[in-house]
Amino acid sequence: MEDGRAANNWAGMTLDPERGILYVPTGSAVFDFYGGDRVGNDLYANCLLALNARTGERIWHFQGVHHDIWDRDFPAAPVLITVQRNGKDIDAVAQTTKQGFVYVFDRTNGTPLFPVENRKYRQARCPVKLPPRNSPFPRVPRRSRGSY
């Protein structure tokens, strides 16, 4: 297809060999700064995909930017970490973003380990831009008040 829509992986992938899960961050749908020729959230673009490493089957996914018109895809491979919550160790995967956000998920099921809320975006008057109505925003971990 000539207009491919991208959403490829260019940032690198991370394998959890113990669980057999491959974590794949995806790029923006094309064109990066124009959304007038694509409708909807562009599912699987700007995503962290958790795939069965043997079969390629999708286990879970998280889309960090709906209908991206700002080229805010995930710029780095995810990192496997262990997070302590309520005295219990949780194996997690952390994904950084171009906005400076860090999303942290339970490796097996994709549950966010810190709150994530959908925030509304102001709608453009220019119909060719078509910004998303909302996109995820992590509430923590976050920068200190003075660094905004």
pLDDT tens for 89-121 read 999 999 999 888 899 999 999 999 999 988 776
Q: Per-residue pLDDT tens for 1-37?
A: 345 466 788 889 999 999 999 999 998 877 665 666 6
9 located within any domain: no
Read off the DSSP letter of residue 63: E
Q: Is the peptide bond before 31 cis (omega within 30 degrees of 0)?
A: yes
71 is catalytic: yes
Whether the Cβ atoms of residue 132 and residue 38 lie closer than 8 Å to each other: no
123 located within any domain: yes
How far apart are alpha carbons 25 and 9 in whole angstroms? 6
Q: For position 136, what pLDDT does the model report?
A: 74
Nearest to 29 by CA among 75, 88, 71: 71
In terms of residue numbers, what domain contains 129?
14-138
Catalytic one among 16, 32, 42, 71?
71
Q: Per-residue pLDDT tens for 47-94?
A: 999 999 999 999 999 999 887 777 788 899 999 999 998 899 999 999
Asked if the model's pLDDT at residue 129 lies above 80, the reply is no
102 located within any domain: yes
As for how many domains the chain has, the answer is 1
CATH of the domain at 74: 2.40.10.480
Q: For position 122, what pLDDT does the model report?
A: 64
Q: For position 33, what pLDDT does the model report?
A: 57
Q: For position 19, what pLDDT does the model report?
A: 98
Q: For position 11, what pLDDT does the model report?
A: 87
Tokens 């920068």 found at: 143
5 located within any domain: no
Q: For position 28, what pLDDT does the model report?
A: 81
- 72: tokens are 């805010």
Q: For position 47, what pLDDT does the model report?
A: 93
Q: For position 66, what pLDDT does the model report?
A: 81
